[in-house]
Amino acid sequence: MVNETQHTCSASSSSRSDGGSSSGSESSRDNSRCSTPVLDADRHERLREKMRRRQDAGDKWFSLEFFPPRTANAAVNLISRFDRMGAGGPLFIDVTWHPAGDPGSDKETSSMIIANTAVNYCGLETILHMTCCNQTKDDITRHLQKAKRLGLKNIMALRGDPAGAEWEEEVDGFNYAVDLVKHIRNEFDDYFDICVAGYPKGHPEADSYEADLRHLKEKVFAGADFIITQLFFRPETFLKFMKDCQAIGITCPIIPGIFPIQGYHSLRQLVKLSKLEVPQEIKDVIEPIKDNDAAIRNYGVELAVSMCRELLDSGMVHGLHFYTLNREVATTEVLKRLGLWKEDPRRPLPWAVSAHPKRRVEDVRPIFWASRPKSYIYRTQEWDDFPNGRWGNSSSPAFGELKDYYLFYLKSKSPREELLKMWGEELTGEESVFEVFTCYITGEPNRNGYKVTCMPWNDDPLATETNLLKDQLEKVNRRGILTINSQPNINGKPSTDPIVGWGPSGGYVFQKAYLEFFTSSEIVTALLKVLKKYELRVNYHIVNVKGQNITNAPDLQPNAVTWGIFPGREIIQPTVVDPVSFLYWKDEAFALWIEQWAKLYEEESPSRMIIQYIHDNYYLVNLVDNDFPLENCLWQVVEDTFELLN
Amino acid sequence: MVNETQHTCSASSSSRSDGGSSSGSESSRDNSRCSTPVLDADRHERLREKMRRRQDAGDKWFSLEFFPPRTANAAVNLISRFDRMGAGGPLFIDVTWHPAGDPGSDKETSSMIIANTAVNYCGLETILHMTCCNQTKDDITRHLQKAKRLGLKNIMALRGDPAGAEWEEEVDGFNYAVDLVKHIRNEFDDYFDICVAGYPKGHPEADSYEADLRHLKEKVFAGADFIITQLFFRPETFLKFMKDCQAIGITCPIIPGIFPIQGYHSLRQLVKLSKLEVPQEIKDVIEPIKDNDAAIRNYGVELAVSMCRELLDSGMVHGLHFYTLNREVATTEVLKRLGLWKEDPRRPLPWAVSAHPKRRVEDVRPIFWASRPKSYIYRTQEWDDFPNGRWGNSSSPAFGELKDYYLFYLKSKSPREELLKMWGEELTGEESVFEVFTCYITGEPNRNGYKVTCMPWNDDPLATETNLLKDQLEKVNRRGILTINSQPNINGKPSTDPIVGWGPSGGYVFQKAYLEFFTSSEIVTALLKVLKKYELRVNYHIVNVKGQNITNAPDLQPNAVTWGIFPGREIIQPTVVDPVSFLYWKDEAFALWIEQWAKLYEEESPSRMIIQYIHDNYYLVNLVDNDFPLENCLWQVVEDTFELLN
C-alpha cells in the first residue's frame, strides 16, 4: 500500500504511489510539470504512447486514411471532411504520398500541405506517408525536415512504386522501406513515430510469404513503431498474419487495414493496384448488383462490420485502420455500427486544440476567433510561445496579417453563386443585411427561399450553445444589432454537460455572458448612455474601422469569460476578451465585410455600396456581463438601448 | 466621447478612452501587460506614484516611523507590531538609521535588517533612513547597493549628527543631505524614491528660516521626491511652512510629521534632541500631570487628533506621518479617531503579499505555509521567478532549507515558560497532546488554566475563517486528528465578504474544502479504506517523516483550492495544494514538533519522548474535497474513519 519515497531537492523526486488506483500510470513522465493541466496525456503523448495507453485501458480505437485531392476545391472539401470525421474521435488520420503530385511542395493539394492542415488547423494526430524509391537522400531529408518544421510527428515509411514497370535496385539509393526507416532513425533519432506496411498475404513482389515476414521484421527492428496492414477480405487472413508475425518476434502493434467496399469500380481498381484477389464468395454477391451503388455499399458496410467484429472479438485487435477513399458515409456507418464513433466526444477545451507540438501548452485564446479558429491558428503560427494559464503573461501581440482571405483552409466552402443566394443577389438597404443576419440565426429561409447556413464571420452553422440564445438573438438582429459571436452565462454546470461541458469529468464549467455585434453609430450613441447604468457590471469595447475605440476595461487587462474547475487540477481559463487582440480582430472582422461579401457584387453596384457603407460607418461592439451568477443583463442593455432610441 | 486611436503592431497602441469613467487614470503605464491582474496598481507603483494616486483620488493616508530596537527580543516584538499596525493600512513605514547600532549590518537589530523584514516579511512599503556625515562614499554606496538587493526601494536622505559636538565640513565628504541625494541619483539613477527632511521652524543649525528653505529647495531640485517634516506643535506652523515652500517653487508632496505626546520624559528627550521649544499652552497642561502617564497620553491623543483634523481640513494635507516611538496605542488611537485606520482593509489576495519588487507578480502559493507565511518567504527568497497565474508553470522546486528555526522574524513570540504553560509542563501521553490541540481550537483554558494562543505550526490565534469550522475541528482533535490547517468550501461569495473575501470588489471568491492534520498510522489505515469510497471526489496526500508517501493526485499536478473571479480580469488562483512542495513542507512540519515543542523538555524526559514518538510515527495528511458546490464531505470522511475504527 505504501511506497518508500525519499525526497531530495528535485521536483521529480515526489513519486506517486499506488494508494489510489484510477489516476493512470504515466509514472515514467519527465520531471517538468504539465503546464496544461487538462488533457496532458492526450496533448503530450506521442502516437505510439497513445496507442499503448488505449490498449492498456482496453479502449478500442480507429484511424482513417485519406489521399491528397487533385484540385484546390477538392482540398477545401477534404478539410471540412477532416473536421466532420475528426468529430468522431479517430486516434489518427494518415495522408498518402503521391509522387506524381509534387507531394512535398507547398501546393494546397500536396501530401505535405494536406497533412500540415490536418495537424495544425484540424487538430488531428496525423501520419504522413513517404515513399523512398527514385529519390535522393537529400530529397528525403528535405521532406522530413519540412515535415518536422510543420509540426508533423509521424511518418509511414514506404518503398513506393518503381518508376518503370519493373523493379530495379539502385546502388546507394533507397531500395526498400527499411532503408527509409533506417535513414529516419539516423537523421532524426527518435523524433518521428514510424509506421510501416504489413502484407497479410505477403507483398506481391516478395519471394514468398515467409520472406516478406522477414522483411517486415527487418523494418520493425530498424526502428518502426507499429504496422498498418494492406487491406484483406477475410478476418482469418489478418489473424493468421498476426500470429505469424508474433511467432518470429514482431511485438509492436499491428493494425488491420479495413476497406469497406463502396462501389464496384473502386473495388476493381484497388484490387488491380494491390494485386489482391477478391474471394469468390464476395464476387458472387457483387457481380449481380454491380450497377447498384447503394446495394454494393450496403453490402460493403455489412461485410466490414462483421469482419471488424470478428477482429475485435479475437482480443488481438485494439484498433482498426480504415481506407476511406476520401469518402465519408460508408466508413462512418461502419464505425457507428461498431460503437467506435464518438457521437459526443469530450472536448478537452471549449475550442479545438491544434496538434502542432509547439502548441501543446496553449490553453487560452481570445474569444473573437471562436467561429474562425483556423484564421486564429494561421495568424499566430509564427508565435514561439503560446499563452498558457494566463493570457496576460505570455501573449504575443504580433498577430500575423491575414492578407490572403483565400488560403484554402480559410476559404468559404460555398461557391459565389450559393453565397449570393444566401446573402442576397441584390441588397436594397441596410435592412436587407439585417434580414440575412436574422435568417442565419433563425434557420428560416430568406425571402428567396434559401437558408443562410454561413456568414463571413462564421463558416459553420450556429453552435449548439448559441441556440440557447436564439430567440433573443433573432429579436436584436432584426433591429440592426448584427451579432457575430455570443455565449450565455453559466454558473457552474458539470464539465460533462453535453452542450456547454468541456475538460475532464468531475469538474464544473463557468462562463460570463458575451455578445459581439456590428451596429450603427446611432445605436452606439444610445448604447453608451445605457451602459453608464451598468458601469460596474458590464465591460465593453466599441471600435470602428478607423480605430476609434471606446472602452471601460481596466488598463489593457484581459477578461476571462470561460473557465473550468476540475478535481486535482489548477484552474483553466480557455477564453478571454482581450483588449489588445480585439484591435487585430477588428481589422479582420471589418475586412470580411468587403472581402467576403461586398466583392460578390459589381463595383459601384448599389449592393456593394451598401456593404461598403456598413463597413465604413458601423461599429464593432463587444459586451461582457461580469456578474455571471445573476441573470444575463446584456439583453436588458440592448432592450434599454432600443427604448432610448424610440 | 471618442478618442482617435490608430493601432499599429505594438501592444501599447490600444489606448483607453474616456468612454468609461470609473476605471482609473493610469494611462501612462508602460507597454507590458500586468501579470498580476488583482491590485496591479498597488503592487507595481512606486511610492511616489501611490502618493500621487491617493492624492488625486482625494484619499487621505498615513505613515508610521519606527526606530531599530536594541535587543533581539525587542526586534521580534517590533516585527509583530509591524504586522499589527500594518493591518491598519499605512501607505508606508520608515525605519531610522542609527549610526551607533551598525545600521547597515546583518544584525537582527540593524536598521537595514529591520527595514528588510518590514518589506519582505511584513509586506510593508518601507523607507530606510540613511545619514551621510562621517561616512565614505564607498560606505554609502555599499549600503545603498545592499538596500537595493534586499528589495528596498525608498531612502530618506539625511545629513545625520556630527561626530563631535560641533559641525565641521569635510572636504570631498558628504556634508549635507543634498550631497547624499545627488549621490543616490548619480549612482542609482531613478531606482530609489528619495525623501528628505523639512524643518517647519527651520533647521536649528541653519543661518535663518529662509536659508533653511533654500537648502530644502536644493535637496528637492537635486532629486528628492517628497518631504517629511520634523515634528511641530501647532498646525499653523506647518501650514505656513508649506506655503513658504510653495512660494519658492517646491511643488513635491510635503508630509507633516505628527508626534502624539505619549509621556513626559519622551517629550523632554525629543525636544532636547530636536532643539524645539514646547509651546507654553502645552507645558501648562503637562507640568501638573507629569507623573500621570495615562493622563498625558490622553492629552497627547486629543492634541494630535485636533491638530491632524485642522491639517486635513486645510485641504493642503493628504497624508500624515506619525512618530510612533515604536509604541502602538497612542498612534492607533489617533488614527482610529481620525477615521484613517482601516479596521478591515481589503485583502488583495488571501495571503499577505511581500513588498519586494521581484515578488510583484507572485500570486500563487501552496496552502501549507498559510499560517507560516514568513517561513515561506524565507525559504523562497532565492527564487528568481515567482509563480504567477499558474503554479505549475513557473514554480521553482528549490525551496531553501529552514535550518535555523530561530531567525528572529520566524521565532515564536512567546518565551519558553509561556509555551510550557500553554503546551504542558509535563505530558502524560499522546492524549495530553490531543488536549493542547483541542484547547487551541476552542479557546478554552487548558487543565492548568492557561489559554493556548499559538502552536508550533501557527504563530497567531486562529483565523476568523477557521472559526467557521470550530465545532467540527474540536471534535476531531479530541480524537487524535491533530489539525494544523483547514479551510471551508465556498461556492461564490462576494469578494467583499468580511470573512472570506479578498481582491477587488464586484468579484466572487471560491474555495475547495481543505483539511490538514497529523495522525497515527492506525487512523491512517482506516482513513485509506474510507477514502476508497471518495476516490473521485477527495484528493489526498499522506506522508510520514521518512517520506513514505501515499496519494491519489494526478501526476505532480497542483490542485487550486482558492480562486476568484473579478470584473474585467483574468482568473486568480492564489492558493494551491501542490504535491512537490508538500514534501518540503512535510520536512518543516515534522521538524517543528522537535524544534519548537520537544526541545522545551529535558532530553530523555517522558514529555520529550512523547513528542518524539509522534514525530517518528505519525503521518501528515492533507485532504481536498473537489466538489466545492456540495456540502463539504471531509467531516464525513473523518466520521466514517472513526466509525470504522470502533
Residues B581-606 have pLDDT tens digits of 999 999 999 999 999 999 999 999 99
Task: Please tell me which residue, B12 or B128, carries the higher pLDDT value.
Answer: B128
Give per-residue pLDDT as tens, B370-411. Answer: 988 889 999 998 888 888 888 886 656 688 888 777 777 777
Neighbours of B167 (CB within 10 A): 12
Does the pLDDT at position B110 exceed 50?
A: yes
A20 in reach of chain B (CB within 8 A): yes
Q: Which of A6, A29, A582 sits opposite B547 (nearest CB)?
A: A6
How does DSSP classify residue A596? I
Counting one residue from chain A and one from chain B, the pairs whose CB atoms sit within 8 A come to 270
Q: Does A391 touch chain B (CB under 8 A)?
A: yes
- What does the alpha-carbon distance between residue A539 and residue B448 come to, in Å, rounded to a whole number? 60
pLDDT band at residue A395 using 50, 70 and 90 as cut-offs:
low
Spatial separation of the C-alpha atoms in residues A388 and A33, rounded to whole Å: 13
* CB neighbourhood size of A451 (10 A): 14
DSSP letter (8 states) at residue B593 = I
Interface check for A609 against chain B (CB to CB < 8 A): the answer is no
**Closest partner residue to B571 among A22, A539, A573, by Cβ?**
A573
pLDDT of residue B462: 74
- Lowest pLDDT segment from A6-10, A147-151, A323-327, A496-500: A6-10
More confident residue, A411 or B251: B251
Residue in chain B lying closest to A554 (CA): B23
Record the cell numbers describing residue A60, joined without a space.
478500442
Residue A554: list chain B partners with CB under 8 A: 23-24, 37, 568-569
- pLDDT of residue A408 exceeding 80, the answer is no
Q: Is A516 a catalytic residue?
A: no
Give the closest-approach CA distance of B364 to chain A in angstroms. Answer: 11
Name the residue among A14, A390, A395 with its Cβ closest to that of B556. A14
Residue B15 has pLDDT above 60, yes or no: no
pLDDT for residue A396 is more than 70: no
The answer to which of A39-53, A498-512, A610-624 has the lowest mean pLDDT is A39-53
Question: Which of A163-177, A354-368, B18-32 tops mean pLDDT?
Answer: A354-368
User: Are the beta carbons of B508 and A629 closer than 8 angstroms?
Assistant: yes
Confidence band for B161, pLDDT divided at 50, 70 and 90: confident
For residues B139 and A27, the model is more confident at B139
Query: What per-residue confidence (pLDDT) applies to A1?
Result: 31
Res A473: pLDDT: 93
Please report residues of A whose CB lies closer than 8 A to that of B366.
Answer: none
**Contact (CB, 8 A) for A43 and A301:** no
pLDDT band for position A42 (cuts 50, 70, 90):
low
Please say if the pLDDT value at position B57 is more than 80.
yes
Distance CA B51, CA B66 (A): 20
Strands (E), A399-511: 482-487, 490-494, 508-511
**Interface predicted TM-score (ipTM) over 0.90:** no
- For residue B394, what pLDDT is reported? 61
Q: Is residue A13 scored above 60 in pLDDT? A: no
- Residue A121 near residue A93 (C-beta atoms within 8 A): no
Q: Searching chain A, which residue's CA lies closest to the CA of residue B554?
A: A23
Average pLDDT value for residue range B566-573: 94
pLDDT at A11 over 60: no
Single out the residue of A276, A316, A319, A281 nearest to residue A302, CA to CA: A281
- Compute the distance between CA of residue B624 and CA of residue A515 in angstroms, rounded to an integer: 36
- How far is A374 from chain B, CA to nearest CA, in Å? 21
Q: In A, which residues are within 8 Å of B508 by CB distance?
A: 628-629
- Residue-wise pLDDT for B335-373, tens only, equals 999 999 986 667 888 888 888 888 888 999 999 999 888
The three-state DSSP-derived secondary structure of A133-159 is CCCCHHHHHHHHHHHHHCCCCEEEEEC
Q: What pLDDT does residue B27 have?
A: 32
pLDDT at B18: 35
**Judging by beta carbons within 10 Å of its beta carbon (0-12, 13-18, 19+), is residue B617 exposed, middle or buried?**
middle
- pLDDT bin (cut points 50, 70, 90) of residue B124 is very high
A249 touches chain B (CB under 8 A): no
**Contact map slice: A 515-574 vs B, CB within 8 A:** 528, 532, 535-537, 539-540, 542, 546-560, 563, 565-571, 573
Place of cell 518536422: A148
Per-residue pLDDT band at A327 (split at 50, 70, 90): very high
B626 touches chain A (CB under 8 A): yes
Place of cell 504489413: A198
> What pLDDT, on the 0 to 100 scale, is given for residue B100?
85
The predicted model gives A294-321 an average pLDDT of 95
Mean pLDDT score of chain B: 88
pLDDT at A33: 43
Task: Please name the member of A21, A547, A626 whose beta carbon is closest to the beta carbon of B7.
Answer: A547
Any idea what DSSP says for residue B389? Answer: S
CB distance from A9 to chain B under 8 Å? yes
Query: Which of the pair, B87 or B33, is modelled with greater confidence?
Result: B87
| All domains of chain A in start order, with CATH | 52-164+171-262+300-338 (3.20.20.220), 365-645 (no CATH)
The pLDDT confidence band at residue A302, using thresholds 50, 70 and 90, is: very high
For residue A198, name the pLDDT band (cuts at 50, 70, 90): very high
pLDDT at A28 over 70: no
* Angstrom distance (rounded) from CA A86 to CA A125: 10
pLDDT given at position B44: 78
pLDDT over threshold 90, residue A554: no
Q: What is the pLDDT of residue B167?
A: 55
> Residue A313: what pLDDT?
96
Query: What percent of chain B is modeled with pLDDT above 90?
Result: 67
Going by C-alpha positions, the residue among B479, B553, B460, B579 that lies closest to residue B523 is: B479
pLDDT tens by residue, A427-462: 999 999 999 999 999 999 999 999 999 999 987 777
**pLDDT value of residue A237:** 96
Lowest average pLDDT, out of A563-567, B265-269, B521-525, goes to B265-269
pLDDT in tens, B319-333: 999 999 999 999 999
Cβ neighbours around A442 below 10 Å, total:
17
Q: Comparing A11-20, A141-150, B349-358, B466-475, which segment has the lowest mean pLDDT?
A: A11-20
Angle formed at CA A380 by CA A378 and CA A384, multiple of 5 degrees: 130
CA distance B614 to B407: 25
Chain A residues within an 8 Å CB radius of B537: 506, 567
Whether A15 shows a pLDDT value over 50: the answer reads no
Strands B319-323 vs B61-66: parallel, antiparallel or unpaired = parallel
Residues 6+ apart with CB under 8 A from A285: A299
Edge to edge, what strands does the sheet with A619-625 contain? A482-487, A513-519, A619-625, A538-544, A549-551
Instruction: Assign A271 to helix, strand or coil.
Output: helix
Question: At residue A606, what is the residue type?
Answer: P
Q: Which residues of B touch A551 (CB under 8 A)?
A: 16-17, 19-20
Q: Is the pLDDT of residue B413 over 80?
A: no
> For residues A269 and A33, which has the higher predicted lDDT (pLDDT)?
A269
* pLDDT at residue number B206: 85
Catalytic residue among A65, A362, A474, A588: A65
Q: How many residues does chain B have?
A: 646
The pairing of beta strand A513-519 with beta strand A559-565: unpaired
Whether B585 contacts chain A with CB within 8 A: no
Q: Would you say residue A635 has pLDDT above 60? A: yes
Rounded average pLDDT over A573-585: 94
pLDDT tens for A218-244 read 999 999 999 999 999 999 999 999 999
pLDDT digits (tens, 9 = 90+) for B278-288: 999 999 999 99
More confident residue, A360 or B449: B449
A414 touches chain B (CB under 8 A): no
Beta sheet of B365-366, edge-to-edge order: B365-366, B572-577, B559-565, B508-511, B490-494
How confident is the model at residue B345, as a pLDDT?
62
DSSP A500: T
Which pLDDT does position A250 carry in this prediction?
96
Cα–Cα distance, A394 to A397 (Å, whole number): 9
Distance (Å, whole) CA A133 – CA A508: 54
Confidence at residue A163, expressed as pLDDT on a 0 to 100 scale: 60
Best probe of the A interface among B556, B627, B630, by most A CBs < 10 A, is: B556
Report the pLDDT value the prediction gives residue A290, as an integer from 0 to 100: 87
C-alpha cell at A83: 473536421
The alpha carbon of residue B478 is apart from the nearest alpha carbon of chain A, in Å, by 27
Instruction: Write out pLDDT tens, residues B163-222.
Output: 655 556 666 678 889 999 999 999 999 999 999 999 999 988 888 999 999 999 999 999
Percentage of chain A surpassing pLDDT 90? 66
pLDDT of residue B408: 74
Please give the positions of B annotated as active site.
65
Q: Is A25 on the interface with B (CB under 8 A)?
A: no
Is there a contact between A624 and B568 if contact means CB atoms under 8 Å apart?
yes
Give the pLDDT confidence score for residue A306 in this predicted structure: 96
Mean pLDDT rounded to a whole number for chain A: 88
The pLDDT of residue B17 is 36
Rounded to whole angstroms, the Cα distance separating A474 from B317 reads: 57
Q: Which of A336, A634, A350 is nearest to A497 (CA)?
A: A350
Q: How far apart are CA B565 and CA A262, in angstroms?
A: 54
Cell reading at A412: 468559404
pLDDT at B356: 87
What is the Cβ-side half-sphere exposure of residue B440, based on CA atoms within 13 angstroms?
Answer: 30
Q: What cell was used for A410? A: 480559410
The predicted model scores a pTM of 0.85
Residue B369: predicted pLDDT: 92
